[in-house]
Amino acid sequence: MDFETLLNESVKIHGHLCPGQVLGVKMSMLGLREIGIEDPRGKDRKSLIVFVEMDRCATDAVQSVTGCSLGHRTMKFMDYGKMAATFVNLKTGKAVRVVAKEDAREKAKKYFPETADKYKAQLEAYKVMSDGELFDVMHVSVAVKPEDMPGRPLKRVPCDMCGEYVQDMRELHKSGKVLCRPCAEGGYYKVEDKPHGK
């Protein structure tokens, strides 16, 4: 599909048009081209995994263009806080990491100097700037573990402390016990009361 069509689809999913949407769409188009994926939502859908390094607007655009998602286990979130994504062709092993260039923000002003709103200038400039001005591309290798592949869980085990089940070999083994990460390392939540229904 062409850029404008993909951008419009992305905006429908994300809810608004912003510079991150433009970057995410262009980043995805470039990454897919580089690894030889022509139809990510159709015939190539089982050949693609994407690792995103940011939980920002661009990630919604990457999901929209590629069809990859956390729920399908074809999108992996790496909490690096970087405007970057790695596109992996599972059939060929070819992979590229596409990183947004920081100086693209400054270059955007030169494209639309009369626009006072820097975000509007970025949004419009990113639409017309070349991939070379917007992104660095590096060829990388990615070893996707069997437990990270799409499909049914390879294994499910109960945590010896809380009893909740852990899938896909995410359990930890400490002092002879099988533990979930929150019980072993502390979690993002603190239990205030017992679960309802117990």
Domain range list for the chain = 3-146, 152-198
User: Is residue 21 predicted with pLDDT exceeding 80?
Assistant: yes
List the one residue out of 98, 89, 74, 77 whose CA is nearest residue 25: 98
pLDDT of residue 115: 85
pLDDT digit string, tens, across residues 35-62: 999 999 999 999 999 999 999 999 999 9
Task: Note whether 76 and 50 are within 8 A (CB).
Answer: yes
Long-range contacts of 116-124 (CB under 8 A, 24+ apart): 119/18, 119/19, 122/19, 123/17, 123/18, 123/19, 123/22
pLDDT of residue 109: 87
Task: Find the mean pLDDT for residues 183-193.
Answer: 89
pLDDT of residue 1: 75
User: Is residue 197 predicted with pLDDT exceeding 70?
Assistant: no
Task: Find the mean pLDDT for residues 65-71.
Answer: 95
pLDDT digit string, tens, across residues 88-126: 999 999 999 999 999 998 898 889 888 888 889 899 999
**CATH number given to 3-146:** 3.30.1330.130
User: Is residue 156 predicted with pLDDT exceeding 70?
Assistant: yes
The model's pTM is 0.89
